[in-house]
Amino acid sequence: MRAIVLLCMLHAAFGMDEFDWVDPFSSSETASNPCYLDQQSCGCCVMQQQLNRMEEYFNLSYEGMHHVLTESKMALNNFRDSRSAFSVALNSNARMVCFGPFPGDRLIPFKNVFINLGDSYSTDTGIFTAPRSGVYSLAVTVYSDIDSLINPMAACANLIVNGHAVAILPEHKGDDPEDSSTVVVAVGLKAGDQVGVLLPAGCVICDNLSHFNTFTGFLLHTTDS
Ligand SMILES: *[C@@H]1O[C@H](CO)[C@@H](O)[C@H](O)[C@H]1NC(C)=O
Ligand SMILES: *[C@@H]1O[C@H](CO)[C@@H](O)[C@H](O)[C@H]1NC(C)=O
């Protein structure tokens, strides 16, 4: 008797095999049912059933948590892949160098890169191409000074998306020796939309290592999922 109980307990403790005894409460074959023959093994058998149920429950909980963890990891990777930020300045010259004025409109090629996460800003064209649909923060600051002997001084520019002006920096008539203006906007962009800063005809901006002219954008959150 003791040996049977001990074996049974070991069996339950290690949980190596599936429980395959007859359910003591559903079987009508009383003669062959060990529960009716041996009350102690019956208690053990019920215990093992409970253990099995608990194990099933924990297995299910584990699978559920594993699923949630996998999904969270995927979401996090997706978020990491979608990171996008750029910040550039006109140049990094030791002496003051101006861009403009020109007889026609020109895109400003900001050459000094502070950061270009995702490589979506091109120093060749001055254009930022939105890598994903989402809400982006965009900021432009332009600057001109009278020491650059530009007449008339006009630190003006347009923030453009796909060729259309989103915001205008209108400093056309400056009577003081320096002019600067800034715009910051949050806009919804579609993947592939092109953002740049246009220097309208007659406008001029000047910069050196002080980085008075900057163009910055970053993705606040995506909207494509
Ligand atoms: C619980 O999971 C383990 C490991 O996957 C498995 O060996 C065991 O049979 C499962 N138990 C139950 C009761 O489903
Ligand atoms: C850039 O030019 C301005 C105006 O001439 C000057 O005050 C400033 O010191 C210059 N910056 C650097 C880093 O040389």
Count Cβ neighbours within 10 Å for each residue of 97-113 and write b for 16 or more, e otherwise: ebbbbeeeebebbbbbe
Which protein residue's CA is at the shortest distance from atom 4 of ligand 1? Answer: 59
Task: Tell me the ligand closest to 147's alpha carbon.
Answer: 2
Contact 150, 98 (CB under 8 A): yes
Where do we find the tokens 């003006």?
A: 156
140-198 pLDDT, tens digit per residue, is 999 988 665 555 668 899 999 999 999 998 877 666 778 899 999 999 999 999 999 99
CA-closest residue to ligand 2 atom 8: 210
**Domains of the chain by start residue, with CATH:** 2-80 (no CATH), 83-222 (2.60.120.40)
Nearest CA to ligand 1 atom 7: 16
Residue 36's pLDDT band, with cuts at 50, 70 and 90, is low
How do residues 120-141 score in pLDDT, each as one tens digit?
999 999 999 999 999 999 999 9
The token pair that represents 128 in the structure block: 């930022």
**Separation of alpha carbons 124 and 57, rounded Å:** 60
